[in-house]
Structure 1
């Protein structure tokens, strides 16, 4: 890979991270707590198009959690949930995009409720929080993410480089 191509990929990953941060912070009232629809999670569909979306999303989530005032456990495990989801989506590239939104939904649904309980002391039952986080992730990844996929797919070759 030449220098120009690698610079493009680094810049693209950085732009994805920045977009994640901006969307999370701009919609902060909906991005945190036990009931959340993190609009930025719609970007977890991007690994279907480019591998640089995986680290871009992980770094974006890490920075968004720091800027959003999250505690250390949330910074670590919330970012890990997004990383796991992004890797899962990347592994499903070339498949039906409906399947590709499942990893970030499930990763966040399984990890975030424990962060809410043990890092923030949220007293709600973990299964209930799994449900609320799952619904929020389904809205952001499943609905908004698939709309983003549909909008980007016709332009994928001009926007993304593999």
Structure 2
């Protein structure tokens, strides 16, 4: 008996879907491993109220790769567990969930930028008015803000209570939030933003962007 058109499409699509799942899983694992490595190697500056966690540059990757949401979450979770001076369950759970929520927010907020890239690429026109509609790094500023704001407002608040519980004051909490906002801004915008714009120009980055745009258009059509 001849297969129906739907069955034939499923036969073709399923292996492709499985391959996408495998690629996504591998990407998540690699990002998690890299996050852990970049956190633990310079561990002297990756923890505490005065920190500069270089691995947070990877939290920009969800703007391009959905798999990075899981990757940075697992990386942060395991990095907090492996903290040479562990701060307990609150840091492990709250810190990791903050990274997860921020990563998801970045992915969602970066959708207009991805759609622009999928449609226009990185081309430039001699017409200035036309260039205003083309994607630029400025389109990523707002999508990357959750990495700064959520970490400052969540992690920055609880760190003083975990590290100096006997000397917590409003000023100390405010200073902790401010320092974390500053360090996150340096890493996310100083390292992460150039990283994500560079990756968006690669074949792998554009493939991920176009696949998500195609999925978005399919859902709108449905």
- The normalised TM-score by structure 1 is 0.92
Counterpart among 81, 101, 111 of residue 84 in structure 1: 101
Q: Offset of 1:52 from its aligned partner?
A: 1.0
How many pairs are equivalent?
A: 162
Which whole-Å CA distance do the structure 2 matches of 1:117 and 1:83 have between them?
Answer: 22
Gaps of at least 5 residues in structure 2 are 1-13, 114-138, 213-222
Q: Offset of 1:115 from its aligned partner?
A: 2.3
Counterpart among 195, 199, 206 of residue 152 in structure 1: 199
TM-superposition CA deviations, 1:51-72 (whole Å, max 9, x none) = 1111111111000111124321
Gaps of at least 5 residues in structure 1 are none
CA-based RMSD of the aligned residues comes to 1.8
2:82 aligned with 1:35, yes or no? Answer: no
Tell whether the 8 Å contact from 1:84 to 1:104 is kept in structure 2 after alignment: no
Q: In terms of Rg, which structure is larger?
A: 2
Which whole-Å CA distance do the structure 2 matches of 1:22 and 1:144 have between them?
Answer: 16
2:11 aligned with 1:11, yes or no? Answer: no
Compare relative contact order (CA 8 Å, sep 6+) and give the higher one, 1 or 2. Answer: 1
Which whole-Å CA distance do the structure 2 matches of 1:44 and 1:100 have between them?
Answer: 11
Q: Offset of 1:118 from its aligned partner?
A: 2.0
Which whole-Å CA distance do the structure 1 matches of 2:108 and 2:207 have between them?
Answer: 22
Tell whether the 8 Å contact from 1:17 to 1:56 is kept in structure 2 after alignment: yes
- The normalised TM-score by structure 2 is 0.68
